[in-house]
Amino acid sequence: MNLARLISETAAKYADKPAIVFAGKTWTYRDFDRQVQNYATNLDRLGIKKGDRVAVQLPKCVEFLFFHFAILSIGAISLPLNPDYRPEEIVYFLTDSGSSLFVTTSDRLSKVRSAIQHLSELKILLKEEELPTTEEAVLPKYSAGGDDIAMICYTSGTTGRCKGAAISHHNLIANMRALHQAWEWSDRDILLHVLPLFHVHGLNVAALGSLYAGSTMLMFEKFEPRQVWETLASKNCTLFMGVPTIYQRLINEWAKLETQSELRKMRLFVCGSAPLSDQQFYQFENITGFRILERYGMTETGMNASNHITPEHRKAKSVGFPLEGVEIRIVDRDGNDVAIAEVGEVWIRGANVFQGYWGMPDKTAESFTDRWFHTGDLGFQDPDDGNRLYLVGRAKELIITGGFNVYPKEIENVLESHEAVKESAVVGLPDSDFGEKVVAAIALKEAINITPEELITYCKSRLAAYKCPKQIFFVTEIPRNAMGKIQKNILVQQISTLL
């Protein structure tokens, strides 16, 4: 059960049908499959074998997909990386994963070259290099499958050390099939894809789902609201997936349109990666007539729950019901099931749940109880509506901004590496555009002067832009309780009064 093999079988079935349209060029399913085989041949020639990790840091492009599925087809493990990651971050991912090959662009390599020069065994392949094409491509052996690892997707924890979620072929296939059933995905669909490919939403849900179904995917490098509205109408799109920030900008753009788009072929707008506000839910429905379908997923589990395909069964603030093959429990701090309608931590069990954290057996053990994964999310089920799931917050200190996960400790570590900073605390505050924005409170060392702008610039040189604080506030001291733990709830109240 190799994921790339399933996609190749789809390609054989829909050989002459457009699979991907990007930057004015169309790739049929036959074209796509041939490219994946050619890339697999070149990876084989480089000595990449089953179980090797291949890190891919590319801008959004079709080559990203060719590399990704070629890696899976030869049994290696794909490691998708955000193209905005800074050198320090890249070094950690390459080192922690023990990657054998780093696929990137020449400009990105120039920024990270000195930082990775000590990784003497690491091979490097540039996107700009023209890969040899041969009529005698090495047909993939599909040597990996089932519980073999297909991907390592890095997430983080409150300790600040990023964790690599090891996701198997079986995890991805089971989740993909559950989504196809839940969303009635078919070869008649045309998906407008505006999400980043390094993110599980854009790769494992949108792109993978489209290719498996035999759909056509219109892929944009960047999200532009007006372009989206025009394309949805002119290209007869049926599917669109976004995050709350994207939907807010679409709402804002709608009023500016000279001629509002006719969405006669559209059947489904999906939202995920961050909570959609009820205001956004109702406002989008009022202007378009479409009720957004919200779902619930995470890096470690893929998609867990979804609202129903029938619009009348979708509700604001609810993520719906467990997908086929997924079980959900709501538990208290001792791991006991709470009464229905009571808030507790959401635990997940199913074929979609990852294999564990790469190289972190202790963290893996802490995250599971009898195969139930502790999500760290807080939620409750509605007994009057078939135990419909609602999420109310996060037990872990996670910030979701623009659909991306941001973990405070990682940013605090960077801030506190600056000579002027005594201590820091990072929190997320509501933001109409991004859902949440990253804000930091900082206590400075005595006799050192520095501006918030200088510290933000310092962060931007060491972290991806979306992780960096949008605002910094100087405080005399960080509030703590009697046990010395930072009281971020008090801190949020204090900062809110200053805004």
What pLDDT digit, counting tens, does each position of 189-203 carry?
999 999 999 999 999
266, part of any domain:
yes
DSSP string, 181-228: HHHT--TT-EEEE-S-SSSHIIIIIIIHHHHHHT-EEEE-SS--HHHH
165, part of any domain:
no
Q: What is the CATH number of the domain that holds 123?
A: 3.40.50.980
SS3 379: strand
Same domain, 34 and 83: yes
pLDDT the model gives residue 158: 44
Domain boundary pick from 145, 171, 201: 145
CA–CA distances in Å: residue 151 to residues 8, 29, 50, 79, 303: 18, 23, 12, 6, 16
Measured distance CA(50)–CA(71) in Å, rounded? 9
Name the residue type at position 336: N
Q: What is the CATH number of the domain that holds 218?
A: 3.40.50.12780
Same domain, 355 and 442: no
Same domain, 348 and 404: no
The first and second tokens of residue 479, run together, are: 């509030």
DSSP 258: S
Same domain, 438 and 324: no
Q: Quick one: which of 276, 308, 197, 187 has its CA closest to 239?
A: 187
CB 270, CB 223: distance < 8 Å: no
SS3 254: helix
HSE of 249 in the Cβ direction (CA atoms, 13 Å)?
Answer: 16
Domain boundary pick from 333, 365, 394: 394
Model confidence pLDDT, tens digit, residues 73-114? 999 999 999 999 999 999 999 999 999 999 999 999 999 999
SS3 134: coil
Measured distance CA(28)–CA(19) in Å, rounded? 5
pLDDT the model gives residue 164: 97
Q: What is the CATH number of the domain that holds 488?
A: 3.30.300.30
350, part of any domain:
yes
Measured distance CA(240)–CA(185) in Å, rounded? 12
Measured distance CA(459)–CA(402) in Å, rounded? 18
Domain boundary pick from 360, 394, 428: 394
Same domain, 21 and 139: yes
pLDDT the model gives residue 392: 84
Total domains in the fold of the chain: 3
CB 231, CB 237: distance < 8 Å: yes
CB 472, CB 491: distance < 8 Å: no
pLDDT the model gives residue 493: 87
pLDDT the model gives residue 482: 54
Q: Is the pTM of this model over 0.75?
A: yes
Domain of residue 417, residue span: 399-498
CB 64, CB 32: distance < 8 Å: no
Same domain, 119 and 196: no
Residues with pLDDT less than 70, the chain: 134-140, 156-160, 396, 481-485
89, part of any domain:
yes
